[in-house]
Amino acid sequence: MTDGHTTLLSSGGLDGMTGPYGSRLLHGWYATGGAAGLDEHLDRYGPAPFPRSADAADRLVRAVEDAGLTGRGGAAFPTGRKLRTVAGGKGTAVVVANGMESEPASRKDETLLDLAPHLALDGAALAAAAVGADVAHLCLPRTRRGQAEALREAVEERQRLGLDPVPVQVHELPHHYVSSEETSLVRWLNGGDARPLATPPRPFEKGVGRRPTLVDNVETLAHLALIARYGPDWFRSAGRPDAPGTTLLTLSGALRTPGVYEVPMGRPLGEVLDVAGGPAEPLGALLLGGFFGSWLPVGQALRVPLAKQDLAALGAGLGAGVLVALPDRACGLAEAAGVLEYLAAQSARQCGPCRLGLPAVAADFADLAWGRPDMELQRRLEGRVGLLAGRGACRHPDGASRFAATALCVFADDVRHHLSHGPCAAARHEPVLPVPQTPEPEEREWR
């Protein structure tokens, strides 16, 4: 499917992978070429197997643990451990399905909710039943009003048929980069602004209504819905033992067919790019994880498996499921400067690193990319970047720091050239990365 942002190409089936890349979450779309309505969803999967007793709920949690499912929203935390922790908390639990996808380079969650909405809704209701919750909330950005309305209609249709023992409520939140952070969702659902909260307590301890709250990405919950039906061994039949299952990725940049793809975990990044037709021109670097991600040199990165342990050895992670192929003709410093300006403008401005440190780093990067040569700039910039991480009330400064630090490392030759000779010609080219415009502070809404 191509809609200006998204192309979907794959092969395979629910009984296993029949091609080099297989489909699971998007199996229905690959089979029919269209989004799955409720009738088609029930014909394909049947009703969700909701646990009807405490023992059955425990077996579902154990199945997710045995499957090795990890979060697909950025942190890659073990999903089974989150379920068990919330289920064991004090008081009736709450489930929050995170469909905010505030990462500008990502389209995977939006695509999943468009094409297989009932898998995500199954997963939210199954997770609620597993942890003993009495409600599940699905959070979406207000910029996707059409999708929110379609999901409300899907929820109402399920309610009319009595499919879900736990009600799912659809909400539209302000759309800011930090508004997809789990404490932002909790704060908004509790009547506050969609800005991050200082922790502890974490949501699994005291979240919505000060109750134990499970916050999971919608892709994670869709995987859970399939594990509940087919079991952990089926889930592990894709990927590799320490990185099981498939994942949705948004592949963009200098690729022949950029879009959203479903690939097995553990594949080398070079093979992942081949799913999108491979590079359309020589590459200069890869950005993995999005605007909170890491820049990687092409020669080294193409051989690295798409697995948490292997990526961590490079100081990288899958993050929001984003992989951008930067063409060699682009200026990496200009690309990074544009993103850092955006991240500085998108902060909640609740603590020093976001109010002061991040704008200073963004200004230094802008000088490095487009300003006059200044041999003191590199030393000042490296010092400021080093002061960002670990000092904020949320993870916003941490992600920006990682993005900036890896840019300085991977584009070190460009840094030396810019400092010695001024901006390169490519610094004035149209950016490759999709950096949105940020409203002025007085125009932003947080509630």
Residues 4-11: contacts with CB within 8 Å, 24+ apart?
A: 5/107, 5/259, 6/107, 6/111, 6/259, 6/260, 7/257, 7/258, 7/259, 7/260, 7/276, 8/111, 8/115, 8/259, 8/260, 8/261, 9/257, 9/259, 9/261, 9/275, 10/261, 10/262, 10/275
Distances (CA, A) of 107 to 66, 72, 96, 179: 29, 13, 20, 16
Every domain of the chain and the residues it spans? 27-236, 239-327, 332-442
- Do the Cβ atoms of 406 and 294 come closer than 8 Å? yes
Q: What angle do CA 58, 64, 67 make, to 5 degrees?
A: 140
In this predicted structure, what is the pLDDT of residue 374? Answer: 86
Q: In CATH, what is the architecture of 239-327?
A: Roll (3.10)
In this predicted structure, what is the pLDDT of residue 438? Answer: 78
Fold of the CATH domain 27-236: Rossmann fold (3.40.50)
Spacing of C-alpha 89 from chain mean position: 26
Residues in the chain with pLDDT < 50? 1-20
In CATH, 332-442 is 3.40.50.1820: no
Q: Which residues lie below 8 Å from residue 31, measured CB to CB, with a gap of 6+?
A: none
| Residue with tokens 């207000």, as numbered in its chain | 142
Q: How far apart are CA 182 and CA 207, in angstroms?
A: 9
In this predicted structure, what is the pLDDT of residue 230? Answer: 97
Coil/strand/helix, residue 109: helix
In this predicted structure, what is the pLDDT of residue 98? Answer: 98
Residue 20 neighbours by CB distance under 10 Å: 14
| Residue with tokens 């299952």, as numbered in its chain | 245
- For 218, the token pair is 């919608």
